[in-house]
């Protein structure tokens, strides 16, 4: 029985690759792809989801949720890495629907439709998840599992010295989600930063005779260029894809139950994820955190999954 999955995304090229892999994974049934502002503004995120789905044209189209603006603004600095439109500036056509329901409504509908059977993979700021829990306060008790890409345990942030981007974009939402009574797993930067793709990966991608291969070969070169220009790095990180592999192949990771919370007030520490790792912790465990990863195993699984997706999406 395929696992029912909601992808909550702010595409973003690493979100896009994770979506491509999920749509053609026979072990997953993507029931919804809900957009959230983050790497790009909300409307662009909703457009990018529709671009990706149009490019992939999966056998079963998931429901799409429209991102709505957060109460506060989104950070603009430091997100040029995916290009002005979030997909590397590649000119994609897409029929953009104007009748989409808000992401939080789609999340509530789909979780309620399959109590305790749906997993949410949160690959962007946690705005939609927190709003869904506000809309339906019993939702955490009927949600199967929530897997979150973001935060840090002991490593540095990536948008500020203290904070990771997804948490930093909406710290209040992140705190509410960390405190929600549901099964949560966190895949932090400490782990996702260790999986680096070097340029040779471009020669190992599926060829252009498939929708997946054609799409990847358009968006990934732009990411390597951006990482080099913006960060001076010759390799790229695809945090969200690592998060997806943590969901589909947890055997490639180690997890530790922790007690975590989110800083919502700090001038320098806003959006930092804080964990009680004292010898005698006072906070109660509330989240399983990935602490180790088999880097090479994850890279091989990413390539296997992309080639399988390409075989299922031949032109």
The footprint of ligand RIB (CB under 6 A) covers 10, 12, 14-15, 38-39, 123-124, 149-150, 158, 164-166, 239-240
Among 4, 5, 6, 12, binds Ca ion (CB under 5 A): 12
Task: Report in angstroms how near the CB of residue 13 gets to ligand RIB at its nearest.
Answer: 8
Q: Which stretch binds Ca ion (CB under 5 A): 50-58, 123-131, 150-158, 182-190?
A: 123-131
**Residue 123 binding Ca ion, by CB under 5 A:** yes
Closest CA to 258 of 235, 222, 286: 286
Please, which of residues 80-109 interact with Ca ion by CB under 5 A? none
Among 15, 25, 110, 263, binds Ca ion (CB under 5 A): 15
Is 12 or 260 the residue whose CB approaches ligand RIB more closely? Answer: 12
Is 180 or 187 the residue whose CB approaches ligand RIB more closely? Answer: 187
Task: Report in angstroms how near the CB of residue 123 gets to ligand RIB at its nearest.
Answer: 5
List the catalytic residue out of 101, 239, 249, 285: 239
Q: Which stretch binds Ca ion (CB under 5 A): 47-55, 122-130, 181-189, 269-277?
A: 122-130
Task: Report in angstroms how near the CB of residue 142 gets to ligand RIB at its nearest.
Answer: 26
Closest CA to 222 of 54, 90, 93: 90
Among 37, 58, 88, 124, binds Ca ion (CB under 5 A): 124
**Residue 170 binding Ca ion, by CB under 5 A:** no
**Residue 8 binding Ca ion, by CB under 5 A:** no
Q: Which stretch binds Ca ion (CB under 5 A): 2-10, 40-48, 90-98, 306-314?
A: 2-10
Is 10 or 301 the residue whose CB approaches Ca ion more closely? Answer: 10
Cβ count near 266 (within 10 Å)? 14
Q: Which stretch binds Ca ion (CB under 5 A): 45-53, 94-102, 117-125, 190-198?
A: 117-125
72 a catalytic residue: no
Please, which of residues 228-247 interact with Ca ion by CB under 5 A? 240
What are the φ and ψ backbone dihedral angles of 295, each rounded to 5 degrees? -55, -50
Residues 6+ apart with CB under 8 A from 39: 10, 11, 12, 15, 45, 79, 82, 86, 124, 165
Task: Report in angstroms how near the CB of residue 240 gets to ligand RIB at its nearest.
Answer: 5
Residues 6+ apart with CB under 8 A from 65: 8, 32, 33, 34, 35, 46, 100, 101, 102, 103, 104, 105, 106, 107, 128
Binding residues vs Ca ion (CB under 5 A): 10, 12, 15, 123-124, 240
Query: Catalytic amino acids?
Result: 239
């Amino acid at each position: 029985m395929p696992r029912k999955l909601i992808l909550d995304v702010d595409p973003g090229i690493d979100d896009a690759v994770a979506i491509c892999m999920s749509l053609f994974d026979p072990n997953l049934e993507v029931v919804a792809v809900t957009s959230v502002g983050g790497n790009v503004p909300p409307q662009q995120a909703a457009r990018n989801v529709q671009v990706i789905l149009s490019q992939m044209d999966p056998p079963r189209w998931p429901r799409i949720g429209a991102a709505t603006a957060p109460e506060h603004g989104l950070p603009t600095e430091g997100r040029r890495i995916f290009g002005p439109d979030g997909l590397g500036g590649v000119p994609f056509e897409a029929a953009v629907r104007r009748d989409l329901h808000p992401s939080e409504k789609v999340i509530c509908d789909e979780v309620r439709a399959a109590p305790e059977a749906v997993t949410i993979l949160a690959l962007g700021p946690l705005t939609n998840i927190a709003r869904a829990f506000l809309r339906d306060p019993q939702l955490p008790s009927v949600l199967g599992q929530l897997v979150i890409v973001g935060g840090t345990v002991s490593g540095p942030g990536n948008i500020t010295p203290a904070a990771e981007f997804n948490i930093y974009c909406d710290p209040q939402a992140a705190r509410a989600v960390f405190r929600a009574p549901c099964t949560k797993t966190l895949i932090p930067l400490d782990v996702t930063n260790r999986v680096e793709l070097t340029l040779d990966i471009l020669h190992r991608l599926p060829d252009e005779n498939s929708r997946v291969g054609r799409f990847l070969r358009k968006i990934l070169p732009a990411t390597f260029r951006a990482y080099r220009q913006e960060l001076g790095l010759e390799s790229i990180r695809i945090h969200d894809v690592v998060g997806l592999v943590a969901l589909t192949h947890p055997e490639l990771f180690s997890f530790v139950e922790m007690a975590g919370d989110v800083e919502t007030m700090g001038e320098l520490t806003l959006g930092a994820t804080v964990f009680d790792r004292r010898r005698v912790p006072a906070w109660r465990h509330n989240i399983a955190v990935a602490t180790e990863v088999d880097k090479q195993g994850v890279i091989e699984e990413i390539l296997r999954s992309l080639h399988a997706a390409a075989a299922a999406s031949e032109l």
